[in-house]
């Protein structure tokens, strides 16, 4: 059927610049390579070639979640997509999982978690900053079209208590995650995953020591992901001059069952 009015698309020009657009009948995008009219996109297929008003080439796609997260509105730093990918795998997120995350922030991790859940799974997202949750709602609605039924946004400081139980994962993105350890012990099911994303090694060290002291967690692991793209053009085969270096540390742990002895 091709692109339709109100579809979200990403336009990528021949200079490798990209632009997220919501298609509207009389819409247009003014770029450094000329104007692109939405009417010239509507009806075309994913990946289609188009031309600007000055004859320059571009292509139009449905945006990937990575595309969208890189360009979405934000008021605070987000978890970078390279780190989100590791969190999803290391936390073993599955379709039916029940997950608590904090804080919601601008919604980058929340949007990725929603990709994995079906109607039997649910995410409870805590944040005591309503203005950030409002931005997360706008970002989710822009990408998914609406807020899915399997997410509950909670205007609450998670350190004052987790209201859910029998959770598969607790995923934290704020500066003092050790304050949540007592709550996570009560809320996680046996074998559940504890995940924290923190910016400094000092915070990571304290968290690991607090997890070790609880004696209920095992498989405690700390990771940092560095992303180095490469360029291959003719005889030039080398890393890009710029890479995505340190963005944060991820601490993972798994809850042991209570001893029956």
What pLDDT band is residue 1 in, cutting at 50, 70 and 90?
A: confident
Q: Which domains does the chain carry?
A: 8-63 (3.10.330.20), 67-255 (3.40.50.150)
- Of 128, 140, 144, 125, the closest CA to residue 62 belongs to 144
d(CA 176, CA 31): 43
Q: Which value, to the nearest 10 degrees, does the dihedral of the CA atoms of residues 127, 131, 136, 138 take?
A: 150
pLDDT for 244 equals 86
d(CA 88, CA 92): 6
Say yes or no to pLDDT of 28 above 60.
yes
pLDDT for 260 equals 59
What pLDDT band is residue 118 in, cutting at 50, 70 and 90?
A: confident
Triad 233, 63, 172: Cα angle to 5°: 105
What pLDDT band is residue 124 in, cutting at 50, 70 and 90?
A: very high
pLDDT for 14 equals 87
Say yes or no to pLDDT of 176 above 80.
yes
Q: How far is CA 183 from the centre of its chain?
A: 24
DSSP category for residue 45: P
Rounded mean pLDDT of 192-220?
97
pLDDT for 21 equals 95
Say yes or no to pLDDT of 261 above 60.
no
Say yes or no to pLDDT of 129 above 70.
yes
| Percent of the chain topping pLDDT 90 | 90
What pLDDT band is residue 16 in, cutting at 50, 70 and 90?
A: confident
pLDDT for 242 equals 87
Q: What is the mean pLDDT of the chain?
A: 95
pLDDT for 76 equals 87
pLDDT for 259 equals 62
Kindly report whether the peptide bond that precedes residue 201 is cis, defined as omega within 30 degrees of 0: no
d(CA 50, CA 34): 12
d(CA 160, CA 133): 18
- Of 53, 57, 43, the closest CA to residue 11 belongs to 57
């Amino acid at each position: 059927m091709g692109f339709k009015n109100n579809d979200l698309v990403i336009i990528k020009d021949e200079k490798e610049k990209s632009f997220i657009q919501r298609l509207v009948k009389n819409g247009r995008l003014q770029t450094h390579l000329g104007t692109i009219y939405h009417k010239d996109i509507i009806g075309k297929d994913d990946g289609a070639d188009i031309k600007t008003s000055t004859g320059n080439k571009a292509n139009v796609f449905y945006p990937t979640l990575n595309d969208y997260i890189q360009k979405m509105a934000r008021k605070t730093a987000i978890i970078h997509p390279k780190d989100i990918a590791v969190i999803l795998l290391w936390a073993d997120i599955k379709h039916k999982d029940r997950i608590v995350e904090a804080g919601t922030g601008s919604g980058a991790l929340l949007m990725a978690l929603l990709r994995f859940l079906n109607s039997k799974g649910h995410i409870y997202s805590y944040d005591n900053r309503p203005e950030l949750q409002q931005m997360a709602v706008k970002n989710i609605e822009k990408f998914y079209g609406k807020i899915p039924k399997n997410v509950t946004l909670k205007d609450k400081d998670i350190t004052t208590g987790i209201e859910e139980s029998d959770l598969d994962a607790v995923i934290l993105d704020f500066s003092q995650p050790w304050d949540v350890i007592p709550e996570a012990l009560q809320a996680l099911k046996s074998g559940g995953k504890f995940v924290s994303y923190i910016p400094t090694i000092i915070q990571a060290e304290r968290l690991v020591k607090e997890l070790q002291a609880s004696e209920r967690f095992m498989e405690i692991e700390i990771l940092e992901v560095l992303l180095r793209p490469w360029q291959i053009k003719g005889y030039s085969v080398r890393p890009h001059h710029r890479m995505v270096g340190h963005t944060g540390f991820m601490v993972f742990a798994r809850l042991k069952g209570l001893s029956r002895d």
